[in-house]
Amino acid sequence: MFKEIKASDIKENICDLLKNNWGLVTAGNSDKFNTMTVSWGSMGELWGKDSVTVYIRPQRYTEEFMNSNDHFTLSFYPLDKKQAIHGICGSKSGRDVDKVKECNLTPNFDENAPYFEEAQLVLVCKKMAKSKFDPKDFTDASIDGRWYPEKDYHYIYFAEIEKVLISE
């Protein structure tokens, strides 16, 4: 069971959640969707709206769903579920395995995007813009070699937080 709150009422530290808990970014619809781990992101205000930013490499299966849907969810889980969820969702592709089944996750569908009953915090997000890292814009020269040896630069999704759900 979830309760809706305002983004400004989120008690958890988003930096801590992303860095230590990681999260799942999920996009698609009730017919077909995919989820993957996300540990890079930000939350704040952009263009006068509560917003999040997530980063997805172009070869990720979830990128297809992010690109073809206006909404996605960003969800976070209790630490005791991290290893099981992220061991699968962070290392296996939804093209090859049913990650939801392997993680024993229970899909739920907001009117705009899928999320999972096991989450403790869910952000329902509407895309506002998409960009892609360009190595010529890196002011720290070490970034390209350290994070992009395959030159698979992340897409950057800027999204409005339309709804925040917390487990009760």
Could you give the CA distance from residue 33 to residue 20 in angstroms, rounded to a whole number?
25
Cβ atoms of 17 and 126 closer than 8 Å: no
Q: Which of 67, 76, 102 is nearest to 20 (CA)?
A: 76
User: Quick check: 53 pLDDT over 90?
Assistant: yes
Please tell me the total count of domains within the chain. Answer: 1
Which tokens sit at 101? 């089944």
- Give the mean pLDDT of 67-78: 95
Instruction: Show the domain range for 25.
Output: 2-167
Instruction: Choose the most confident range, by mean pLDDT, from 15-19, 75-79, 147-151.
Output: 147-151
pLDDT at residue 6 in the model: 97
User: Quick check: 90 pLDDT over 90?
Assistant: no
pLDDT at residue 14 in the model: 86
User: Quick check: 81 pLDDT over 90?
Assistant: no
Q: What is the rounded average pLDDT for all residues in the chain? A: 94
Q: Enter the pTM of the model.
A: 0.94
Could you give the CA distance from residue 134 to residue 141 in angstroms, rounded to a whole number?
12
pLDDT at residue 110 in the model: 85
Could you give the CA distance from residue 75 to residue 12 in angstroms, rounded to a whole number?
12
Query: pLDDT tens digits for 122-137?
Result: 999 999 999 999 999 9
Coil, strand or helix: which one is 3?
strand
DSSP E strands, 18-70: 23-28, 33-38, 41-46, 49-56
User: Quick check: 85 pLDDT over 90?
Assistant: no
User: Quick check: 117 pLDDT over 90?
Assistant: yes
**What is the CATH number for 30?**
2.30.110.10
CA 119: distance to chain centroid? 12
Q: Which of 129, 111, 118 is nearest to 52 (CA)?
A: 129
Q: Which of 163, 168, 167, 117 is nearest to 6 (CA)?
A: 163
Could you give the CA distance from residue 126 to residue 45 in angstroms, rounded to a whole number?
14
